[in-house]
Structure 1
């Protein structure tokens, strides 16, 4: 029998991120993952802007970019085959470098997992067990008892934990054991084959997120670059009405690849997989001391690239709350805000991803009948132009305290209670971001004549044993452009903005009366930590 404060089940990007966050917050944790090595069949092929911001906080941005595979010039290319007639292109989503410090990055999931595994192995306070499964899990009072078992045989080992985060995937055995249903629908099935081969003669100078070739028996057969050179994924979409189609045989996979490429092709087939394409969200995110995160909590069609990214944000939302509860700073009720904040985001992303998948049907019908396909292709811009969904989503209830400042509704990237705090460069653009000062602790940003907020923050932080950092803006420590700060944050010179450890705004307030600063800030923190919402 061994004890840990936090048990993380599942060592994909979400579980690994949760372990790194636990280490940063000083929570001893244990991570268990059934696969000894990352799954070789690539799943996600990119990290969106907010996901890259979170990996930046782990100090991994440069390492991830060093393994980035390619920067596609186009979003989708529609054609008979790679060597056949082309019908149209959907441009990639615009990269607005003013909205964040990092932008997105094209990296295969298996490569990302290797980077995260290496960092977890060196993280203080993390005990990682790869090649290990959870045989059973029971809850008694405020403790969870798990029985661990090596996948290659060996003795079982019991662990007790105060909290468990289940990041064990779409088929989540822990979710099933907790009897938590998934709500939503199956969209279809994707048969997928991962292969290596040289098709540079038909690619030419084209590069895209995905090439979609119209199969006459229905739907698209894709060629999706993994590295843009020799590693590829080919998918075939199958209707949900026909049932699970099973795995492609090697002969079927070879035929599918050659049909998509449009000529005989020497393809080295690495692996095949078939999975249900679903838009489903768990009915509950919490059962006692066990929380669902990532694919265990929500599964989306891959048409949009929000699965991995939403899951990493789940961990970023949850772990700081667990840390404050374990340290006695916040009540257990704070943990209820994880579901009230994250579940609506998952529901919205599931619906959006499903609509993206359905638009492909209209494009296919136009192409296969040789009709002009311009309008459906034009509508697919919405599939890739998702920066607002990624960076400007807003929590409307949860660990929030409201405020008195007027929100600029015309600018979804401006500060508002529940939104991610806006990015601004510190000093020279391209080096440090205001976001770098906010991650991992409560931060109070206050205006030029708001020095009493500094005194209030110091007093309350000491009283609550809460890491509470106060920054005057602008100042030597926070040398942002004053005009840009005013445009995006909009607080008065005597006002203040309280930002949570996950970078979301909890409270905004205008000028306070003399003597009010401590009272107002204490009440804002009380409401935030108790999870009373707006």
Structure 2
């Protein structure tokens, strides 16, 4: 790791990009950071205990060990910090839950040393290959209504968009991989410890933590707290942050089950199977390459959560399969509300919200878990810079100004995806998913589906309706194709960067033309095609990384680095290092330069040479560290 104190900035002239190998791992000694103990006591639901404050290098609490919390913990460990991680669960989740890691998340996982493991354990072909599809059927054993090919564009006319593709992998496996990585870095999770109350106290976070096993409550004080404790976040409620948006769009039952469904998937190995027949209604989600682990989502309207038992669940699954001749083993049931909400603020003093604690999306689009991982990635480098004195605390305000609009956009996109699904229902002649008659989930689907669908029969009208169904299915591309515009093309609207007046690289969910627009993700460029030797792979975890075309930028950067007290790492952009299209992708021509933050987002860009640019570059570097 390159770790430079503010008083002694360093700069490299032109280091060679790394060979194609796993992305570098960086750990720094933070022992110079002091600690304190206030010796206060507090009592809760159990025994009265000593209240202490860990040393500063350990003085970060992460509440929640899901994908967001574990990602934040790993990124902190890689920077030499030892955050405390607690989770009220007794162990990691055993049920699959979410199931798609998108391309940008894979790039972040590469920084953690986990992209290859995720790809090996999951199925990259389910989304990115020509065979990837979503299928609409009457039942698995009955007729097919239509198919949507979901392989998105992996490149534009100048080359690949990333070294990685999206991966279909169950969330419980994602959590296990993240957890094992955290353990390998010397971290741990205190399972069975629940945050029951959180307050901001004299610039610190005071947390009442209850041991579920003993019912004893301890009061602990931390300099910083990351609330990653999910949709029902205790952290969020404790500090009085409200959610904005509809709390309940629809109510669902998720049935997790094991079954061998391969015989129904010949020539149509779908990631999802939408069931829309007369006897069943819902969607099957495939979680593994072998087609053995599944979930079925069933809309349940206003039915009470206790209306379904294992026998009911098995009957629903059998109806959706279209036969009772399959051995179905139910492994879990989960009732949940589909929401579309974003927290009113992401910060209360030293307390931050991330992941589902900050935003709740409909699952249409697979954006929830990925957005949480991106939240952690945005926050951690800023927090480290503030703790180490390289940045002012005002930099942390940019976490909300950057990430909250992304969450709102993803919420809107997810709701649009949900509403657009009604086009298929209308073409078929059935009621939409939500709301739905309460008795339809357990009783005959005739409660909302007519005895004859519009597509039934040989009439010209039925044929027209069948064509309309496929047109409606094709209209779902923005929902299912993991569009590069949503995945890679998002750009921050306001925050720790300097706008240059250029348009953002995304023109919609499925449209993305890479460009180093300030606030956007740095475009991927690599002569070899691998991540480690790419532009993104060379971004440093501290300070600023400068990619330049004109060699004179080296001297300018050296002087600016010394003046600003911030490390600058320089890379010359040429065909040998980053490929023939690199300068075009970055938008720097033969003379310009682009400055990049530790999270891979563009800080500043100059399309002209370095003459007279020192002041602008220094100002940009100071802005990236909250010093303006």
Contact 1:404 1:509 in 2 (8 A): no
Aligned partner of 2:578 among 480, 493, 505: 480
Aligned partner of 1:370 among 450, 454, 457: 454
Partner residue, 1:108: 170
| CA deviations over 1:88-110 (Å, ceiling 9, x no partner) | 11111414051011111111000
Residues 487 and 246 of structure 1, relative CA distance in 2, 3 Å threshold:
farther
Question: 54-63 vs 394-403, which deviates more?
Answer: 394-403
CA distance in 2, matches of 1:458, 1:310: 36
| CA deviations over 1:138-167 (Å, ceiling 9, x no partner) | 221211121222222264333221111100
Quote how far apart the aligned CAs of 1:309 are.
Answer: 0.5
Partner residue, 2:37: none
CA distance in 1, matches of 2:297, 2:591: 57
Question: 290-299 vs 55-64, which deviates more?
Answer: 55-64
Aligned-partner SS, 2:362: coil
CA distance in 2, matches of 1:36, 1:141: 32
Partner residue, 1:7: 61
Partner residue, 1:449: 550
CA distance in 2, matches of 1:315, 1:430: 21
Partner residue, 2:293: 231
Give the aligned CA root-mean-square deviation in angstroms.
Answer: 2.4
| CA deviations over 1:66-87 (Å, ceiling 9, x no partner) | 2114733343211110000111
| CA deviations over 1:453-491 (Å, ceiling 9, x no partner) | 323433444555533211122287xx112x401211121
Alignment partner of 1:507 is 2:604: yes
Residues 223 and 117 of structure 1, relative CA distance in 2, 3 Å threshold:
same
Equivalent runs, 1:12-23 vs 2, <5 Å: 12-23=66-77
Quote how far apart the aligned CAs of 1:513 are.
Answer: 5.8
| CA deviations over 1:222-249 (Å, ceiling 9, x no partner) | 221111421111111244xx36555621
When the two structures are superposed, what TM-score results if normalisation uses the length of structure 2?
0.79
CA distance in 2, matches of 1:344, 1:84: 43
Quote how far apart the aligned CAs of 1:21 are.
Answer: 1.1
Partner residue, 2:182: 120
Alignment partner of 1:51 is 2:111: no
Q: Which has the larger radius of gyration?
A: 2
Instruction: Report how many residues are paired.
Output: 523
Residues 75 and 409 of structure 1, relative CA distance in 2, 3 Å threshold:
closer
Partner residue, 2:315: 255
When the two structures are superposed, what TM-score results if normalisation uses the length of structure 1?
0.92
| CA deviations over 1:402-457 (Å, ceiling 9, x no partner) | 34879778863211111100001144657632211015234443434333x32343
Query: 5+ unaligned residues in a row in structure 2: which ranges?
Result: 1-51, 431-452, 456-464
Contact 1:447 1:492 in 2 (8 A): no
Aligned-partner SS, 2:168: coil
Aligned partner of 2:414 among 353, 378, 385: 353
| CA deviations over 1:10-60 (Å, ceiling 9, x no partner) | 000100000111122333311111223221121111101001111011111
Residues 243 and 331 of structure 1, relative CA distance in 2, 3 Å threshold:
farther
Aligned partner of 1:192 among 235, 245, 254: 254
Partner residue, 2:32: none
Contact 1:246 1:274 in 2 (8 A): no
Residues 407 and 307 of structure 1, relative CA distance in 2, 3 Å threshold:
closer
Quote how far apart the aligned CAs of 1:127 are.
Answer: 4.8
Aligned partner of 2:281 among 217, 220, 224: 220
Equivalent runs, 1:304-323 vs 2, <5 Å: 304-323=365-384
CA distance in 1, matches of 2:401, 2:480: 27
